[in-house]
Structure 1
Amino acid sequence: MIYWFSGTGNSRFVAEKLAELTNDTAQNIFMPYTEEHDGIVGLVFPVYVWMPPFFVSKFIDNFLQNIAPQTYKYVVMTCGDDVGKTLDLVKKHGFAPDGAYSLFMPNTYVCLPGFDVDGDKVRQDKLGKSLARISHIAQEVNDRRKTVEIHEGLLPRTKTYLLGKLFGSFVRDDKRFRAGKCCNSCGACTKACPAGNITIGNGQPQWGGNCTGCLACYHTCPKHAIDFARRTSGKGQYLFRRHAGETGKS
């Protein structure tokens, strides 16, 4: 079984492609948990500010700490650039993978100054190389390799344990979201939120305080009406499904 979490679709694509190449099943972590692992458990998720998303950590705490010792376990972390010490945090939550991999995918984080979605060339390059990387990981999994192939980047401990802790709570503070006047109450954000954290009230989206910072609402809004902390105005949007045709074209 491959469990996945995804906001804008990158990690879902990776998980479903891995399932296809390894003859496995991919399942959203918000679906009812199943213990039918058939000797292998994969976990695929995006890295947020050099840390696992809150709901991924919670899923590990609730379900993946007591996997049978003989089970082959692996993790794939999608990232725009690097993962810092995310793997260490995964292990601290009780999931110690035999194989660990990072995979560059288009950037989606736009909440801080200087952060934006990738330009066309960078996005196309990442997606173009993604299938080859996924195929490599799938072969490693099929061979039950015990391999660590992750890009921690520069100053990984500083990024995860200092900047990650500092900005993690900021990213999850959904009181900072606002919908502008161009919002037409279409409800696209409510459907996009993987945590079911958004409702429509008084003609505007309302965030319920259970946010993981995936920004699916921001990237999905067809009117580009959603803003975070007045820091995302004029920045780009990205959803995997809009660019799926660019995969494998490196």
Structure 2
Amino acid sequence: MPLLATRVPLQASDDPALPGLAVLCRPAELTAMLSPRLAPWLGPDAHLLDSRAYLRRLSPGKRCSVELELVVGRANGFPAERRRLLGKLYREDQGATVYQTLGELRHHGFGAGRFIVPQPVAYVPEYRLLLLTWAEGELLRSVFLARSDAAQEIAGAAEWLLGLHKCGVRTGRHYSFLGHLQTLAGWKELLAEIHPQGERLMGALLARFEERGRELSGWTPGPIHRDFSPEHLVVHGDQFTGL
């Protein structure tokens, strides 16, 4: 599901299958839960005064992305400041694996510079809640819709993905080449429903992928972003953040 254009108030009834949703709807309880877990990230002279959660994306029965708006007080007398985090709720315990994988990626070249991933701030297992730094910028999808020429951003997205393939991370789920072909075949059917004229081209591409795969027997598997799309990349100037 695409990221919502605007944030909307969160309700516990949005998805009963997600056990952590209820606490996000109660600001006082949410703030009490977040305070000790965010202390290392906020720093020794800061403390959490208030927090609110807003819905940004919902995949019913699976996961939910929320924008967490934080009010942070300072011990030195400076005015309180507002900060944001991205929260991801899961039905099961995938958040722990995502937390580990993001940490690995940041230690393999994606922690600073032009191509990055968000910093994993904390994982709260009892609520299956993953907390990440907020990625400033625009979704690549929004760039495509707003501009007729996004060649520079497309090139940057390709470079980000190439960097991922070459970074050397070995943790996370593993997929076979055959599994990828089956996934792409499913996408081909969906694309054909929307754009029938492209079915032949997509079929030719899949055949070429399969042919090249046979030629590359014995290749060393590398990391991928299995759901890579314009929804999963944030552009901020010349910086690209993968989600």
- TM-score, normalised by the number of residues in structure 2: 0.25
More strand by share: 2
Bigger radius of gyration, 1 or 2? Answer: 2
The structure, 1 or 2, with the larger RCO (C-alpha pairs under 8 Å, 6+ apart) is 1
More helix by share: 2
